[in-house]
Amino acid sequence: MRLRNIPGADEVIRNCDWVIKEPADKKGKWNTVFGNENPIHIEVGMGKGQFITEMAKRNPQINYIGIERYTSVLLRAVQKREQLPTEEALPNLLYLCIDASELPEIFAKDEVAKIYLNFSDPWPKDRHARRRLPSKEFLARYDQILVPDGKVEFKTDNCGLFDFALEQREIAGWNLDGCTFDLHHDENMNEGNVMTEYEEKFSSMGNPIYKMIISR
């Protein structure tokens, strides 16, 4: 998703306290940023933030960090959050405006308990395969920041990207802890599912949603 450049988005994001600046300075110290020892879950390629906002509301005992590389997209998440009533202040939700390739510079080993990849960009050309967020190159980065039993959860409606992700996890030697080719009709895997913006859009068009859960 790349929204047209929104005038003023950079400045809003620069001045927003929920978006952590110079995040590499926080490496190994993220629990002090949240002020507690709760586990940290991140969503890589957050988009407009519907999924992670709802997760943060449902799970106050987990710290969430939404990662999005474009200020124009992150702006939408910040604007929606500003409209929440004060009692839903969500002290457990922060954002980073970075490219996911920087993750190992920002989080220390064992600092992240779970990584969500939701409807990641497919990068259909073969020569761009390493840019796909479930690629073995990205799995190696996730491995550098996850706790030993940490998990990556990936959802998409893109069959080719899902096949690629399954193949990449095998090449990279990750365990397949869960897999469905029709999430919304899979009672076990769908329990507690929170829909993303893309998930709502594509499932309403009748597309099945694929999901896998993997760990090292």
The binding site for S-adenosyl-L-methionine comprises: 43, 68, 99, 121
Catalytic hit among 10, 121, 143, 186: 121
Distance CA 92, CA 43 (A): 13
> What's the number of CA atoms in the CB half-sphere (13 Å) around residue 63?
17
Among 47, 66, 134, 150, contact with ligand SAM (rule: CB under 6 A):
47
Cβ distance to ligand SAM smaller for residue 119 or 210:
119
Q: How far is the CB of 46 from ligand SAM (least distance, A)?
A: 6
Cβ proximity of 211 and 153 under 8 Å: yes
66 touches ligand SAM (CB under 6 A): no
* Beta-carbon contacts of residue 51 (< 8 Å; ≥ 6 apart): 43, 116, 118, 194, 195, 196, 197, 199
CA angle 9, 44, 149 (to 5 degrees): 150
- Residue 63 near ligand SAM by CB under 6 A: no
Q: Which residues are annotated as a binding site?
A: 43, 68, 99, 121, 125, 157, 196-199
Residue identified by tokens 């840019």 is 131
Residues 213 and 152: beta-carbon distance below 8 Å:
yes
Site for ligand SAM (CB under 6 A): which residue of 30, 95, 119, 174? 119
Scanning the structure block, which residue is given the tokens 């809003």? 12
As beta bridge partners, residue 156 has 210
In terms of residues, how long is the chain? 216
Smallest gap from residue 132 Cβ to ligand SAM (A): 9
- 118 touching ligand SAM, by CB under 6 A: yes
Which window, 14-22, 26-34, 85-93, 197-205, contacts ligand SAM (CB under 6 A)?
Answer: 197-205
| Angle in degrees, 0-180, between the axes of helices 136-143 and 159-172, rounded to the nearest 10 | 50
Residue 156, SS3? strand
Quick check: is 121 catalytic? yes
Judged by CB under 6 A, the stretch of 28-36, 157-165, 195-203, 208-216 that binds ligand SAM is 195-203
Among 16, 20, 46, 93, binds ligand SAM (CB under 6 A): 46
Q: Which of residues 95-114 bind ligand SAM (CB under 6 A)?
A: 99-100
Number of chain residues interacting with ligand SAM (CB under 6 A): 19
Do residues 147 and 113 touch, judged by C-beta distance below 8 A?
yes
* Residues near ligand SAM, by CB under 6 A: 1, 45-47, 67-70, 73, 99-100, 118-121, 196-199
Catalytic residue ranges: 121
